[in-house]
Amino acid sequence: MTEPIYRANVLVCAGTGCASSGSRSTMAALEAEVQRRGLQNEVRVVETGCRGFCAMGPIVIVYPEGIFYCQVKPEDVEELVEETLVKGRVVSRLVYEVPDTQQAVPLYEQIPFYSKQQRITLRNCGVIDPESIDEYIARGGYEALGKVLQEMTPSQVIDEVKASGLRGRGGAGFLTGLKWQFTAQAAGDIKYVVCNADEGDPGAFMDRSILEGDPHSVIEGMMICGYSVGAHEGYIYCRAEYPLAIKRLHLAIEKAHEYGLMGKDIFGSGFDFELIVKEGAGAFVCGEETALIASVEGRRGEPRPRPPFPANQGLWDRPTNVNNVKSYANVAQIIRNGAEWFSKIGTPKSPGTAIFALTGKVQNTGLIEVPMGITLREIIYDIGGGVPDGKQFKAVQTGGPLGGCLPASGLDLQVDFDSLRAAGAVMGSGGMIVVDEDTCMVEFCKYFLTFATAESCGKCVPCRVGGRRMLELLTRISEGQGTMADIEMIEEIARGMDSDSLCALGQLTPGPVLSALRYFRDEFEAHVLEGRCPAKQCVALTSFYIDPAACKGCGICKRACPVQVIEGDRRMIHIINQDGCIKCGTCQEVCPFDSVIKLSGETIEVPTELIPVGSFGK
Amino acid sequence: MPDVHVTIDGTEIAVPSGSTVLEAARIAGIEVDTLCDHPAIEPIGACRICLVEVEKQRALQPACTFPVSDGMVVHTRSEKVVGARKFVLQLLFSERNHFCMFCQMSGSCELQNLAYKYELDHWQFNRPMPTYAVDASREYFVMDHNRCILCRRCIRVCDELVGNGTLGLKNRGADAVIIADLDVPFGESSCISCGTCLQVCPTGALMDRASAYMGASDQVERVKSRCMGCPVGCGTELVVRDGQVIRVEGDWDAEPNKGLLCVVGRFDPQHEVRERVRKPLVRQGDAWSIADGEAAYGLVAEKVAAAGDSVATVASGFVTLEEAQALGSAVRGRKFYMYDLPQTDRTATMADLDEADLFIVTEMDLSLDFQVAGMAVKRGVRKRGARLILVGEGENGLADWASMRVGRADLAKVIAMAKSAERPVVVSGPAGLAAAREIVSAVPAASLASFAPGGNGRGLCDAGFGQTYAGDAAKVTVVVAGETSQVEPGLLDALKKQEFVVVVASYREPWDQVADVILPMPTAFEKSGTTVCADGQAGQVVAAMSTRVPTLEATIGMVAEAIR
């Protein structure tokens, strides 16, 4: 049966963000509506991978026009089909509006969120049906594998990848081609390629989006790598929390077998390759390559000292090449378009693009892909749309929980491996969290340190114990019990962890604290010296007061207080009893006159007994 | 391996390529402190005490795992290195309960020694001191997690050397805790109480019940000796204080056990509850009287003299070669070994066990008997992927390790498999010896490790005790038992039928059921001599404590004196 020729394709994003905002029901409603109107031979509804603009999900794009609809609910579907697919009109209430200007932007490529992006690694994500190998092939998929197997020697492949300047997208930025060369040169007849898909940073979902949205790109990259290093077996280590990614990987591997693109004698070249998906149990440390290998082997996922590096002694002690999902996903395009094409994208030392999961206090949260060398300001303001609610930008954390933060003065910094590292932040695997003036940097550090210490494997002493001690010190500071010596001790532990820990997890755990101390030291000192949390976030250091001049004596706060510590009466100035206050902020939320104020490190004069409204200070 | 040149603390030396920095430093005579490392197991670089500065490396590197390369320059005592070690020690002391004065390891503790060496005179960091329950569910030793530094030596010896894999970790990071099996009490786990973990624990986390608080390392002497408990013949180190053996440890330098012991060798002597024989005992009806020396020896002399050649001497495996020779020349009549005789053809050594690709174990449970040999089998299966075939029915502690179990009738299948193996080793006890012989005779590549109860069986055979005792009638039967507790009921029944039974033994039980006279005998801790283990290697038993109990030679002398 031949497929009908469709006049329109409706792409429904089913990435992580959109799926959580309900794209599956939107998808079902669309399919039903298309059926109901008998359009199933004219209009095709396609479930795609992540489109990136998660804040606006569920996202529906109608091609060939490229109309971009945001936050499409099942109840919008009837109108969408009626207007756009039957009458050819744009449903203006569903199109994207630029927040500041309220200008409607109906077309995908004109939306500011996308206009500064350059989608290379994610080029198929949100565009093709990830479960269709034909769509991948239609976009040039497996061309590179064919070229490699039929026209290139393994060393030519390695030279091409080296010439492209591709650096490992797992975060450390080691030259991918060089890594391949080490594995290729290592002694041994059995070798392995391993894909590190153990994405564990809170809030990061780049690898997940690629595996869910374009699994074949990773598979093709791994096979090219396998050919060049002399491996015939590959493992994808993907965390079990990514069931859709795992399902699609299995499907993709099955399809590749069916099409003769995997298995024995691929393209008649004599090259054999098999791929195995290994599900991880979700330990962050298994993203470290030696821990990952231990986990694949069925042992407790813990790193071991390097050397020996996996290139010489990896999986089952055989030479093994381990790369990140994004690194492999770039390979096929480098082969297809040439190393020169790739090396011209981005900066000379960090060619290509970077993918970030942009989250926190920005208008447009989501998954973005930008050329290396773009500034943080462009990412946060032009793509991200800046900080919402008129708040002030405070800091941006790159590199996830092991990364570092940069203040406003770092906004014009170029995003690439070396510039970020020099500034005390790291590229990491791509988390980017923006915080505004309401975030306390001590609390911010505590958050990441809590994560890192919970994920420490416990093998080496500096990470296992040092992280815990540092967290205790930070907690003390945030509770107003800290001393200046505590700050010094944090720095001492940080130095020790950095230089003495076994793996990158321990070495980089102090990163957020060190960078925060570098750029926001005054904030730490305010906690210690003045008992003041400048962002008014640390509970122990903040208090709520009812402004006696503004209180109208309405009693709403008194009724709402969950611990009943507000004293007051009709037309009397209300008073919060500080001793019992749990600082939940409910009074501030419910007060219709904005008379509840939150203070840190200072107090205001309030009446000592109930007095009539308007009489205070008279 | 070609040599590479490295400079350590300014000294240039040539070391074999593939060495670690720690090995290179040892060759250069430079001591690098370690904590999680132990010479008997693979290094893991976990504790970070052995960190050294390797030029051109960004971070400090663990000497125990870092391989040397040509031209490498290493500093083991730089300010940075010392600072890092202090930092690690401070962190360790902040982690759990390390109040040394309450710990039985104080004075012998590797952590404490390092703290003195690096002059830790105060706690630098906060110490919340979480409390962990002490696990005292094992009979011989106790696990106190509060003193554990998570160096994992216990886990690693249990895995790498013992092959049992009982120990592991639960939880991550600072919450990590050593566990047995799937976190069951140690006493209910698959632990075989070999005590290897106890021997390698650097702190007081594992505590020997018998020797706790009995003496720090500078208050004790160590005597290298040999276990006479079974024909494996393990080298031991007897830890002695004030003339008493307080603990038995495995001798790391000894063949065939390389530091390992089993519960019989390590714990049984310290937990002996039988009544010691210190003076001669003479039966009077159903009662026993402590006899005046002369009367007892006179009675024995009288009976022996009257018996002429109708004397049967039965020796246990706790009799040394020298004792056997003394008996041989002094006592007339026939000489017997108490148990089945060891076999001596195509003997497999422990080295053969450690290279085998196929184990065939006939009619025995190596998890219960001859455990140190059983450890070699477990190691082989776990670490080298060797196959294990169990011949014979019934419960067997190695059943989970076995790739195949067959009945005695299926030997042809086993022989076929053995023929396709490169280095098959057959392990048997007395019950399976016939089957074992059949396999070995059909498979030229196979060797045979045959174990029978008793330690010095081969030595006794060599000394003329080359027959198994089967209740042979004699006017006087002399049983030279030593401290053996391995006594078959059949033996006692046979002895009950004898006219006059003299037992020379260290302990009264079970001989008081059958003997007419019991004469005292030193234990293996109290005497020196030679023992020959199953693979034919001789080992020296060395007295570690003095005793007023006469030696067997002296007893023979006193009896001879009385005859004259």
> Could you write out the DSSP letters of every residue in B419-461?
HH-SSEEEEE-STTHHHHHHHHHH-TT-EEEE--SSS-HHHHH
Which residues of chain A from 252 to 291 reach within 8 Å of chain B, CB to CB?
283, 285
Is-contact A84 A61, C-beta < 8 A? Answer: no
Q: What is the DSSP string of B69-85?
A: -TTEEEESSSHHHHHHH
Between A453, A460, A469, which is nearest B94 by CB? A469
- What is the maximum span of chain A, computed from C-alpha positions, in angstroms? 96
> What SS3 class is residue B564?
coil
Flag whether pLDDT at A617 surpasses 90: no
**Structural fold of domain B104-271:** Alpha-Beta Plaits (3.30.70)
Domain with CATH 3.30.70.20 in chain B: 104-271
Residue in this structure with the two tokens 């070396």, named with its chain if needed: A418
pLDDT digits (tens, 9 = 90+) for B109-136: 999 999 999 999 999 999 998 999 999 9
Q: Do A457 and B172 touch (CB under 8 A)?
A: yes
Residue A420 tokens read as 């970020």
A305 Rama sector, left if φ>0, alpha if ψ -120 to 50, beta otherwise: beta
The two tokens of residue A126 are: 């949100």
Question: Cβ contact (<8 Å) for B125 and A489?
Answer: yes
The DSSP H or E segment spanning A63 is strand A60-63
The pLDDT score that the predictor gives to residue B452 is 83
> Residue B465: which residues within 8 A CB-CB, separation 6 or more?
B313, B315, B324, B328, B335, B336, B337
Query: Which is it for strands A263-266 and A271-280: parallel, antiparallel or unpaired?
Result: antiparallel
- Closest partner residue to B45 (CB to CB) among A304, A456, A496 is A304
Please, where in chain B does CATH 3.10.20.740 lie?
A: 3-77
B173–A454 C-beta distance less than 8 A:
yes
Q: What is the mean pLDDT of residues A316-335?
A: 97
- pLDDT band, very low/low/confident/very high, at A269 (cuts 50, 70, 90): very high
**Neighbour count for residue B97 (Cβ, 10 Å):** 18
Q: What is the mean pLDDT of chain A?
A: 94
Which residue, among B244, B257, B298, B262, has the nearest Cα to B523 in the 3D structure? B244
Among chain B residues, CA nearest to A500: B60
3-state DSSP of A464-500 = HHHHHHHHHHHHHHHCCCCCHHHHHHHHHHHHHHHHH
**Of residues A459, A469, A499, nearest to B125 (C-beta):** A469
Of residues A440, A445, A439, A469, the one with CA closest to residue A456:
A469
Question: B147: helix, coil or strand?
Answer: helix
DSSP B342: P
In chain B, CATH 3.40.228.10 covers 350-450
Question: What would be the CATH architecture of the domain defined by B3-77?
Answer: Roll (3.10)
Q: Which residues of B touch A455 (CB under 8 A)?
A: 172-173
Q: Percentage of chain B with pLDDT > 90?
A: 82
Q: Which residues pair with A358 in a beta bridge?
A: A366, A432
Length of chain B: 564
Helix pair angle (B79-95, A484-500), 10° resolution? 110
Distance from the A450 Cα atom to the nearest Cα atom in chain B, whole angstroms: 11
Distance CA A336, CA A340 (A): 11
DSSP A315: G
Whole-angstrom distance, CA of residue B252 vs CA of residue B268: 20
* Strand pairing report for B61-62 and A542-546: unpaired
Q: Which residues lie below 8 Å from residue B155, measured CB to CB, with a gap of 6+?
A: B167, B168, B169, B178, B197
Q: State the sign of the Cα–Cα–Cα–Cα dihedral A129, A134, A138, A142.
A: positive
CB neighbours of residue A526 within 10 Å: 20
CA B276 – CA B518 distance, rounded (Å): 11
- How many whole angstroms separate alpha carbon B35 and alpha carbon B48? 8
SS3 A503: coil
Q: How far apart are the first and last CA of chain B?
A: 69
- The verdict on ipTM greater than 0.90 is yes
Q: Is the pLDDT confidence value at A1 over 70? A: no
Model confidence band, residue A431 (pLDDT cutoffs 50, 70, 90): confident
Confidence of residue B1 (pLDDT cuts 50, 70, 90): low
Given phi > 0 = left and psi -120 to 50 = alpha, else beta, which region is A447?
alpha
Asked if A448 and A405 touch (Cβ cutoff 8 Å), the reply is no
pLDDT tens digits for range B405-454: 998 888 999 999 999 999 999 999 888 888 999 999 999 999 999 888 88
Burial label for B489, CB within 10 Å (0-12, 13-18, 19+), is: exposed
Q: Are A263 and A274 in contact (CB under 8 A)?
A: yes
Q: List the single best residue of A465, A488, A503 to mutate versus B (max B Cβ within 10 A).
A: A465
Query: What average pLDDT does range A355-381 have in this prediction?
Result: 94
Question: What is the overall mean pLDDT for chain B?
Answer: 93
Beta bridge pairs of residue B75: B53
Contact: B173, A469; criterion CB under 8 Å: no
How many Å apart are CA A496 and CA A473, to the nearest integer? 15
Using only C-alpha atoms, chain B has a radius of gyration, in whole angstroms, of 27
Residue intervals of chain B classified under CATH 3.40.50.740 are 281-341+457-563
Residue A2 predicted with pLDDT over 80: no
Interchain contact, A458 vs B125, CB within 8 Å: no
| H or E stretch covering B89 | helix B79-95
Rounded Cα distance between A212 and A199, Å, is 13
Across A308-312, average pLDDT: 96
Tokens of A48: 């795609």
Task: For residue B167, give the H/E element and its range.
Answer: strand B167-170
* Chain centroid to CA B428: 20
What is the pLDDT, as a whole number, of residue A428? 78
Taking the C-alpha atoms of residue B348 and residue A282, their distance in angstroms, rounded to an integer, is 47
> Residue B41 is encoded by which pair of tokens?
């197991």
Q: How far is A378 from chain B (nearest CA, A)?
A: 33
CATH topology of domain B281-341+457-563: Rossmann fold (3.40.50)
Per the confidence metrics, is the pTM higher than 0.80? yes
Q: Please give the full DSSP string across A323-357, using - where no structure is assigned.
A: EEHHHHHHHHHHHHH-HHHHHTSB-SSSBSEEEEE
Query: In whole angstroms, what is the distance from residue B392 CA to residue B390 CA?
Result: 6
Angle at B373 between CA B368 and CA B375, to 5 degrees: 80
Number of helices (H) and strands (E) in chain B: give both, helices first.
15, 26
DSSP reduced 3-state for A307: coil
Task: Name chain A contacts of B80, Cβ cutoff 8 Å.
Answer: 499
**Which domains does chain A show, CATH number per domain?**
8-113 (3.40.30.10), 133-343 (3.40.50.11540), 353-436 (3.10.20.600), 441-529 (1.20.1440.230), 542-600 (3.30.70.20)
DSSP state of B469: -
Per residue in B289-314, pLDDT (tens digit) is 888 778 889 999 999 999 989 999 99
| Token output for A153 | 């020697």
Q: What are phi and psi of A473, to 5 degrees?
A: -65, -45
Residues A465, B126: C-beta atoms closer than 8 Å: no
Residue type, A38: G
Interacting residues of A383 by C-beta distance below 8 A, sequence separation 6+: A112, A113, A116, A117, A358, A364, A368, A370
Peptide bond connecting A58 to the previous residue in cis, omega within 30 degrees of 0: yes
- Span B84-97, mean pLDDT? 96
Residue of B nearest to A460 (CA): B46
A504 touches chain B (CB under 8 A): no
| Residue A453 near residue A467, CB atoms below 8 Å | yes
**Among chain A residues, CA nearest to B150:** A459
Query: Which one, of A373, A383, A379, lies nearest residue A396 by Cα?
Result: A379
Q: Which residues of A166-179 are buried (b: 16+ CB within 10 A; e: fewer)?
A: bbbbbbbbeebbeb
> What is the mean pLDDT of the segment spanning A293-298?
96
Q: What is the mean pLDDT of residues A225-243?
A: 96
What whole-number percentage of chain A has pLDDT above 90?
89
Triad A475, A481, A482: Cα angle to 5°: 75
**Residue A526 pLDDT > 70:** yes
| A417 and A169 Cβ atoms separated by less than 8 Å | no
- Whether the per-residue pLDDT at B343 is higher than 80: the answer is no
A174 pLDDT band (50/70/90 cuts)?
very high
Is-contact A484 A490, C-beta < 8 A? no
The residue among A256, A244, A184, A168 whose CA lies nearest residue A219 is A256
Q: Which of B125, B148, B150, B182 to mutate to test the interface with A (most CBs of A within 10 A)?
A: B125
Whole-number Å distance between alpha carbons of A489 and A473: 8
Q: Is some CB atom of chain B closer than 8 A to the CB atom of A313?
A: no
CATH class of domain segment(s) B350-450: alpha beta
Indicate the SS3 state at residue A77.
helix
